[in-house]
Amino acid sequence: MPDRKCRIGLVGARGHVGAELVRLLAAHPSFEIDFVSSRALAGQPVPDTEGLCFEDLAPEAVAKRKLDALVLALPNDLSEPYVRAVARELVIVDLSADHRFDDDWAYGLPEHFRDAIRRAHRISNPGCYSTAAQLALKPIASELDAPPALFAVSGYSGAGTTPSPRNDVERLHDNLLPYALIGHVHEREIERHLGRAVHFMPHVAPFFRGLTITIDCMLAASTSKSALLDRYHERYDGEQLVHIQDEAPLVRDAAGRHDASIGGFEADGRRAVMVVTLDNLLKGAATQALQNLNLALGIEEHCGLP
């Protein structure tokens, strides 16, 4: 544990995830927010902080700040100027997809890559769907006999704040909107870090936050529901932010929570089915970023989480 507060800079706090990050960082007992940079909000007070205003900082200006860690919450393809500008020894946690396929960056799924994250200065935060899918599939990844089918549904906060059909409340009213049914970036991300092909089918629903994935698998050998439950309890009962349950978790119960829930296990011979839920803005983004910061800075992993 550091003997002083770690100074954290945040770039790109305009969106839903940025707001969650500010709340978590401001309340963290071992962190001090040095700045929050957002071109669109520059000069306005930063909510949930005392006396802090948004700044508009170019990469060169960020590099001059005395930081222990930098969090990048920018849209995809915008992180590189900041990464190049700052010192190599500075811890960076990037929430975009820019470095999820880069072997030089640690992949920030703590429940499965904790040791690598502790040693890293460059950490790529997983996507929200990718986090849920991998938590659910990794315990049986070596036994998959075919690409599992992932029927995924997210609240419209996952589409960000820039207006689009996927966050248009009127279009989503009484509706379920499928999109990117082949080749979604999260499909490729899951496949890369799971080491298995998957068939990922995302949809947007009219609720604001949370996501659920129903996963249908074909295994190499027959199993039973009780054997599956035992396997998942054995793997995750020591994890504070993964909850295993018998019944299928409900997406409405995931909203506002920092953990993921996996349940609804069924098995029939070689076929196995399960359901995973989490809050896409928290365990799917901001909560996981806090876990990664804690690990990289030598702080207890769950410090600062309610």
Task: Tell me the C-alpha to C-alpha distance, in Å, between residue 15 and each of 158, 203, 285.
Answer: 10, 20, 12
Distance CA 296, CA 8 (A): 12
- Listed in sequence order, the residues at least 6 apart from 66 whose beta carbon sits closer than 8 Å to its beta carbon are 7, 34
Mean pLDDT of 95-112: 97
91, 248 contact by CB (below 8 A) = no
Distance CA 72, CA 237 (A): 31
Please report which helix (H) or strand (E) contains residue 31, including its range. strand 31-37
**Model-level pTM greater than 0.85?**
yes
Secondary structure (3-state) at 69: strand
Question: Tokens 């070596």 appear where?
Answer: 142
pLDDT interval class at 148 (50, 70, 90): very high
Question: What domains appear along the chain, each with residue ranges and CATH number?
Answer: 6-126+284-296 (3.40.50.720), 128-280 (3.30.360.10)
Mean pLDDT of the chain: 96
CA nearest 277: which of 296, 304, 298, 255?
A: 255
Alpha-carbon dihedral 4, 96, 250, 203, rounded to 10 degrees: 170
Q: What is the pLDDT of residues 27-74, one digit of tens each?
A: 999 999 999 999 999 999 999 999 999 999 999 999 999 999 999 999
Give catalytic residue positions: 128
Distance CA 130, CA 212 (A): 12
* The pLDDT value given to residue 248: 98
* The pLDDT value given to residue 121: 98
